[in-house]
Amino acid sequence: MRTIGELGEPGLIGRVSAKFPQTADVIIGPGDDAAVTSAPDNRVVSSTDLLIEGRHFRRDWSSARDVGHKAVAQNFADIAAMGARPTGLLLGFAVPDDLPVAWVDGFADGIAAECATAGGAVVGGDTVGAPAVTVAITALGDLGGAEAVRRSGARPGDTVAVTGNLGLSAAGYALLRAGADGPDEALAEHRRPSPPYPQGPRAAALGASAMIDISDGLAHDLGHVARASGVAVALDSSALVPPAGLRSAVERLAELGGGHRGVREFMVAGGEDHALAATFPPGTGPPDGWTTVGAVREGQGVTVDGRTPPPTSWNHFG
């Protein structure tokens, strides 16, 4: 079995870069000191994130390809949440020298496949040795001439809508922790999130007043919108439509003795959904594929069915 230590940094960079097709947004890709990308809007949307082995993924739970998909998804979801189209991605990759080359190949395949789905391309990056696999992504996007949709634009009277698979990833995580090998829908969503990338620009085009990527739980992330906008957000849990597979995942968890969380609790407080939540002014309905789940009111904070939800979102330092 060939390892990264035997391959060396030049071989690693060449091996990984060869797997990434370029797009029309890339003028100069990997191979020079820096990449050059087009910026037809004259503004570049950017975001960055980290994945650390043992904290954000486990190699015994997820394949290398899964990790590649997830690394791209959680970053390009942030670009979509601004109403932008993903264009480019910079990859920082730290790995142990005994990591199999085959694992790196699978990881690169996952990145390439998710970039093809989202519409962006890898434009450069760096590699270094480390005790555990660490992935640092900087994602870039294009607004296409539109204004960015920020968290601070919600106003009393707006409706709140969501799109994407709420709760399914958190249920998949709970199943993995319980040692379960199914249901497949929940496990797959945790390993390879499926952000609704096109829905961000669609919501922006229809006049969304605020928008956010749901990575730390619906109620928690809408709390960011409420604070930034100086408003209150009232959610109606009965309006939430469970994604396919969530009910069966919750039933399986109950069989395993971990059934203290219900379907809607996963949807309200689950993490790593990488779905989107947005607010829309009166008379402006959300696009097809969105579900209206609440309203913006005078006040502050988030309520679910009239009550303040418990703080059960993902803790980045716990």
279 annotated as ligand-binding? no
151 annotated as ligand-binding? yes
48 annotated as ligand-binding? yes
215 annotated as ligand-binding? yes
47 annotated as ligand-binding? yes
Strand residue runs (E) in 134-227 = 134-142, 159-163, 210-214
32 annotated as ligand-binding? no
C-alpha to C-alpha distance for 18 and 14, rounded to whole angstroms: 6
In 10 A of CB 9, how many CB atoms? 12
56 annotated as ligand-binding? yes
179 annotated as ligand-binding? no
Whether 125 contacts 25, CB under 8 Å: no
C-alpha to C-alpha distance for 204 and 42, rounded to whole angstroms: 18
142 annotated as ligand-binding? no
273 annotated as ligand-binding? no
In 10 A of CB 282, how many CB atoms? 9
Whether 137 contacts 104, CB under 8 Å: no
Locate 293 and state its tokens: 């789940």
Q: Per-residue b/e over 203-213, b at no fewer than 16 CB within 10 Å?
A: bbeeebbbbbb
Query: Which residues are within 8 A (CB) of 236 and not within 5 positions of it... i.e. 6 or more apart?
Result: 293, 294, 305
62 annotated as ligand-binding? no
49 annotated as ligand-binding? yes
Residue numbers belonging to the annotated binding site for Mg(2+): 33, 47-49, 78, 126, 213, 216
Q: Please report, in range form, the residues annotated as the binding site for ATP.
A: 125-126, 151, 215
Annotated binding site for substrate: 56, 272, 314
From the annotation, which residues make up the binding site? 33, 47-49, 56, 78, 125-126, 151, 213, 215-216, 272, 314
